[in-house]
A and B are shown apart, each in its own frame.
Chain A
Amino acid sequence: MEKELSISATVSDVVNCLRKMCDVIHANKEYLTELDSAIGDADHGTNMDRGFQAIAKKLSAPVDNDIGGILKMCGMTLVTTVGGASGPLYGTAFLQAGTALAGKQELEPGDLLVAGEAALKGVLMRGKAILGDKTMVDALTPAIAALEEALATGAKAAEALEKASIAAETGMTGTIPIQARKGRASYLGERSIGHQDPGATSSFLLIRTMAETAREIGF
Chain B
Amino acid sequence: MKKLINKPEDAVKEELEGMALAYPSMIKVSLEPKFVYRADAPVQGKVALISGGGSGHEPMHGGFVGKGMLDAACAGEVFTSPTPDQMLEAAKKVNGGAGILYIVKNYTGDVMNFEMAADMARLENMVVQNILIDDDVAVKDSLWTAGRRGVGATVIAEKITGAGAEKGYDLTKVADLCRKVNASGRSMGLALTSCTVPAAGKPTFELGDDEIEMGIGIHGEPGRTRMKIKSADELTEILALSIIEDGDYSRIVHEWDEKKGDWVDVTLVNEALKQGDQVIAFVNGMGGTPNIELQIIYRKLHEVCEKKGLKIIRNLVGSYITSLEMQGCSITLVRADQEMIELWDAPVMTPGLRWGI
Contacts and interface: CB of A to CB of B under 8 A. Distances in A.
Interface of A: 41-43, 46-47, 79-89, 91-92, 126-128, 179, 181-184, 186-189, 191
B85 A84 contact: no
Contacts of A191: 222
A47 B80 contact: yes
Given A87-B113, A189-B144, A184 B83 contact: no
Contacts of A82: 83
Contact of A43 (B80, B144, B221): B80
Contacts of A83: 76-77, 80-83, 109, 113
Contact of B83 (A42, A79, A127, A187): A79
Contacts of A182: 108, 146
A42 B149 CA distance: 19
A85 B108 contact: yes
A73 to B, nearest CB: 14
19 contacts: A46-B199, A79-B83, A79-B85, A80-B84, A83-B77, A84-B81, A85-B109, A85-B112, A86-B109, A87-B113, A88-B116, A126-B116, A183-B108, A183-B146, A184-B108, A184-B221, A186-B144, A188-B222, A189-B145
Contacts of B116: 79, 88, 91-92, 126
Nearest to A182: B146
B168 to A, nearest CB: 34
Contact of A126 (B77, B112, B139): B112
B80 A187 contact: no
A87 B109 contact: yes
Contacts of B204: 41
B115 A126 contact: yes
Contact of A186 (B83, B85, B146, B200): B146
Contacts of A46: 199
Contact of A127 (B76, B77, B112): B112
Nearest to B147: A186
B63 interface: no
Contacts of A91: 116
A200 to B, nearest CB: 15
A87 B111 CA distance: 12
Nearest to A80: B85
A79 B84 contact: yes
Given A80-B83, A84-B81, A187 B145 contact: yes
A187 B76 contact: no
B107 interface: yes
Contacts of B144: 179, 181, 186, 189
A42 to B, nearest CB: 6
B113 A41 contact: no
Residue of A89, A92, A184, A187 with highest tally of chain B CB at under 10 A = A187
A187 B222 contact: yes
Interface string B108-129: 1100110110000000000000
Interface in B289-323: none
